[in-house]
């Protein structure tokens, strides 16, 4: 009996739609089932990232930053703008327009690669069987397939002490849709999402208070960089209160009353709006039937092995639903790898090179291991730092806040971690892709790489060695723009997210540009590019 599809992907976010496209490119008949509905009731592929997370939040971050700079920085450049007026409706219209374009990009990719997009809720009935319940009217139907890829994503965690009401108490999606700037905004959680959303509304004029239960700011990041960022955010006006454990929140007619505790002291605050940003949970509701036997761990994530296989034959899972870093580019990498594994290839995802970014002003980025992690592991390392305040280009851009920090193995010079601001990445990559071409064979050491990038930024030119030695290594432009060419091709038309390895390459490279190469790191030419 013939099957309806070779592969059915459940979930149309960055992990799901990328996996579906890659599977189709590898010759498999593929369908992608997704049940996302926008506020207006329209169905759209792209998941949280394209519709309510990564993309719309970055749109609002950019708009709010421009508004803030027009108010406070343009005069330094000799630009007189007069009275600045905020049109929040126009910002929202721009945000929604970008999301719509991204949705269209996914649909176009589906069409060009032969992926069948199905609007509905996918439920795993067992190996090779998926029930699709359509959105709105219509009967559910059962589809057969050889392989199933679960990429159902995640949703914001809702606190019992602060339940969402869609008005006064909202999640991260609702936080992007305020019809007016709150006079006073409370945020539970000072992680990546909380800080980004707080930055948006603070720059637009809100008084923002972040209540973080942990005593440490951004514990996942290198603490030298995190502490520096925390001080700067406070200077910007963000009121970050660490060790603040929220006891309860009650929505009233025009305000939200929040009770929290610091040490032995209890406090009460009132806000116009309250955002809850305390993490995300896996989307497993309606994901599988009770008799399917799909195994979850104690936190509700789908259990997989190192090849993304679940306990059910030919059923795989990738992205947020399996835990780990909940990042769009990490999910996409896993989606590509999973499709290639099904096709009989042998891909691998290096989780040590997955970068993290906080899109504040200044932006924060880190990749690899932090100094704290290396200390706990007993690794012998060298550290090099350089402040942006001493960099001429950063001063010219009014982006002189922040530090580049590189950590290298003391014996091999191998880069173990990098933390930095990434304001010049776009300019750098554009030049390299346009001018060096694909024939430049990068020899694979940091001395040559440093010279290349330093010359680009300072002189706007670079002449490659006349007789480069490939010795089996990829070209420089390949390293920067297409480390995993397939993933790059998939992600570029539909999302500004780059594959993890691509972004890692760029960030590590830029870390070697702005500061002089630390003496401790540049002890030999043995340092080889590692992603």
Tokens at 115, concatenated: 């992926």
Q: What is the pLDDT, as a whole number, of residue 260?
A: 98
Q: What is the pLDDT, as a whole number, of residue 395?
A: 87
User: Any idea which of 52-61, 173-182, 280-289, 354-363 has the lowest mean pLDDT?
Assistant: 354-363
Beta strands 184-188 and 169-170: pairing type? unpaired
- Give me the DSSP letters along 111-169: HHHT-EEEEEEEEEEETTEEEEEESSSS--EEEEEEEEEE---EEE--BTTB---SSSE
Average pLDDT in the chain: 84
10 Å CB burial of residue 9 (0-12, 13-18, 19+) is buried
Q: What is the mean pLDDT of residues 273-301?
A: 96
Which of the two residues, 239 and 460, has the higher pLDDT score? 239
Q: In this structure, are residues 267 and 260 in contact, taking their beta carbons and an 8 Å threshold?
A: yes
Helix orientation angle between 223-236 and 192-203, rounded to the nearest 10 degrees: 20
Q: Side-chain half-sphere of 311: how many Cα atoms within 13 Å?
A: 10
Which of the two residues, 442 and 36, has the higher pLDDT score? 36
CA dihedral 285, 290, 294, 296 (to 10 degrees): 50
- The answer to whether residue 476 scores a pLDDT higher than 70 is no
Residue of 307, 294, 315, 306 whose CA lies nearest to 9: 315
Beta strands 315-317 and 169-170: pairing type? unpaired
Structure confidence by residue, pLDDT tens digits, 254-282: 999 999 999 999 999 999 999 999 999 99
Interacting residues of 432 by C-beta distance below 8 A, sequence separation 6+: 456, 476, 477, 480, 481
Tokens at 239, concatenated: 């009121």
CA distance 343 to 337: 10
CA dihedral 401, 406, 407, 410 (to 10 degrees): -130
Please name every residue paired with 270 in a beta bridge, in sequence order, or none if there are none: 257
Domain coordinates in residue numbering, the chain: 5-156+281-349, 169-278, 353-511
User: CATH number of the domain at 169-278, please?
Assistant: 3.50.50.60
CA distance 517 to 370: 19
* DSSP code for 300: S
The CA-based angle 116-120-121, given to 5 degrees, is 120
Phi, psi of 64 (to 5 degrees): -65, -35
Q: In this structure, are residues 174 and 251 in contact, taking their beta carbons and an 8 Å threshold?
A: no
Burial 104-129 (b: 16+ CB within 10 A, else e): ebbbebbeeeebbbbbbbbbbbbbbb
Interacting residues of 32 by C-beta distance below 8 A, sequence separation 6+: 8, 9, 11, 12, 16, 17, 20, 45, 110, 115, 116, 117, 118
The CA-based angle 37-39-44, given to 5 degrees, is 35
Q: What is the pLDDT, as a whole number, of residue 493?
A: 27
H runs (alpha helix) in 244-327: none
Structure confidence by residue, pLDDT tens digits, 74-104: 999 999 988 899 999 999 999 999 999 999 9
Give the model's confidence band at 299: pLDDT under 50 very low, under 70 low, under 90 confident, else very high: very high
- The answer to whether residue 416 scores a pLDDT higher than 50 is yes
Domain 5-156+281-349 and domain 353-511, same fold? Reply is no
How far, in whole angstroms, is CA 500 from its chain's centroid? 9
10 Å CB burial of residue 190 (0-12, 13-18, 19+) is buried
Q: In this structure, are residues 347 and 340 in contact, taking their beta carbons and an 8 Å threshold?
A: yes
CA distance 260 to 251: 15
pLDDT over 70, % of the chain: 79
Structure confidence by residue, pLDDT tens digits, 184-223: 999 999 999 999 999 999 999 999 999 999 999 999 999 9
Helix (H, G, I), strand (E, B) or coil at 308: coil
3-state SS string for 352-377: HHCCEEECCCCCEEEEECCHHHHHHH
How far, in whole angstroms, is CA 203 from its chain's centroid? 22
**In CATH, what class is 353-511?**
alpha beta
ω into 166 cis (within 30 of 0): no
* DSSP code for 60: H
Structure confidence by residue, pLDDT tens digits, 15-60: 999 999 999 999 999 999 999 999 999 999 999 999 999 999 999 9
Phi, psi of 34 (to 5 degrees): -150, 145
CA distances from 184 to 28, 100, 255, 325 (A): 53, 31, 9, 31
Give the model's confidence band at 426: pLDDT under 50 very low, under 70 low, under 90 confident, else very high: low
Q: In this structure, are residues 84 and 70 in contact, taking their beta carbons and an 8 Å threshold?
A: yes
Q: For domain 5-156+281-349, which CATH number applies: 2.102.10.10, 3.50.50.60, 3.90.1070.10, 3.90.1150.10? A: 3.50.50.60
Which of the two residues, 8 and 454, has the higher pLDDT score? 8
Helix orientation angle between 54-72 and 88-113, rounded to the nearest 10 degrees: 140
pLDDT over 90, % of the chain: 67
Burial 222-257 (b: 16+ CB within 10 A, else e): bbbbbebbbebbeeeebebeeebebeebebeeebbb
Q: What is the pLDDT, as a whole number, of residue 324?
A: 94
Largest Cα span, the chain = 74
């Amino acid at each position: 009996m013939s099957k309806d599809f070779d592969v059915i992907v459940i979930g149309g976010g960055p992990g799901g739609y990328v996996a579906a496209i890659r599977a189709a490119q590898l010759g498999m008949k593929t369908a992608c089932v997704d049940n996302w509905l926008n506020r207006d009731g329209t169905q759209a592929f792209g998941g949280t990232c394209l519709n309510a997370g990564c993309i719309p939040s970055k749109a609002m971050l950019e708009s709010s930053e421009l508004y803030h700079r027009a108010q406070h920085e343009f005069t330094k450049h000799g630009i007189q703008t007069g009275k600045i007026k905020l049109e929040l409706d126009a910002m929202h219209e721009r945000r929604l327009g970008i999301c719509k374009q991204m949705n269209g990009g996914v649909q176009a990719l589906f069409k060009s690669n032969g992926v069948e997009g199905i609007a509905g809720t996918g439920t795993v009935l067992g190996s090779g069987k998926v029930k699709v319940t359509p959105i709105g009217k219509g009967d559910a139907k059962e589809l057969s397939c050889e392989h199933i890829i679960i990429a159902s994503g995640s949703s914001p965690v809702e606190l019992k002490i602060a339940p969402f009401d869609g008005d006064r108490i909202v999640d991260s999606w609702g936080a992007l849709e305020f019809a007016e700037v709150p006079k006073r905004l409370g945020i539970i959680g000072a992680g990546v999402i909380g800080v980004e959303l707080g930055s948006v509304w603070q720059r637009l004029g809100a008084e923002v208070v972040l209540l973080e239960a942990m005593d440490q700011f951004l514990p996942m990041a290198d603490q030298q960089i995190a502490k520096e960022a925390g001080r700067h955010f406070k200077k910007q006006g963000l009121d970050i209160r660490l060790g603040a454990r929220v006891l309860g929140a009650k929505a009233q007619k025009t305000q939200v009353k929040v009770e929290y505790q610091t040490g032995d002291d209890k406090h009460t605050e009132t806000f116009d709006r309250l955002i809850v940003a305390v993490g995300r949970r896996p989307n497993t509701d309606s994901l599988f039937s009770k008799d399917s036997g799909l195994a979850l761990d104690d936190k509700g994530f789908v259990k997989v092995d190192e090849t993304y296989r679940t306990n059910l034959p030919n059923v795989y899972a990738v992205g947020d639903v399996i835990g780990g870093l909940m990042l769009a580019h990490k999910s996409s990498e896993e989606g590509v790898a999973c499709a290639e594994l099904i096709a009989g290839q042998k891909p691998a995802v290096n989780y040590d090179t997955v970068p993290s970014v906080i899109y504040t002003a200044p932006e924060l980025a880190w990749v690899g291991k932090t100094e704290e992690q290396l200390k706990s592991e007993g690794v012998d390392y060298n550290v090099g730092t350089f402040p942006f305040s001493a960099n001429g280009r950063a001063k010219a851009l009014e982006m002189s806040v922040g530090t580049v920090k590189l950590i290298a193995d003391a014996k091999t010079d191998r880069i173990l971690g990098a933390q930095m601001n990434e304001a010049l990445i776009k300019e750098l990559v554009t030049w390299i892709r346009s001018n060096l071409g694909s024939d430049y064979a990068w020899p694979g050491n940091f001395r040559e790489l440093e010279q290349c990038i330093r010359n680009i930024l300072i002189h706007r030119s670079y002449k490659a060695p006349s007789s480069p030695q490939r010795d089996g290594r990829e070209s420089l432009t390949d390293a920067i723009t297409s480390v995993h060419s397939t993933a790059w091709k998939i992600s570029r038309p539909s999302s500004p997210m780059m594959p993890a390895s691509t972004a890692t390459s760029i960030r590590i490279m830029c870390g070697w540009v702005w500061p002089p190469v630390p003496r401790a790191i540049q002890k030999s030419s043995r340092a080889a590019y590692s992603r």
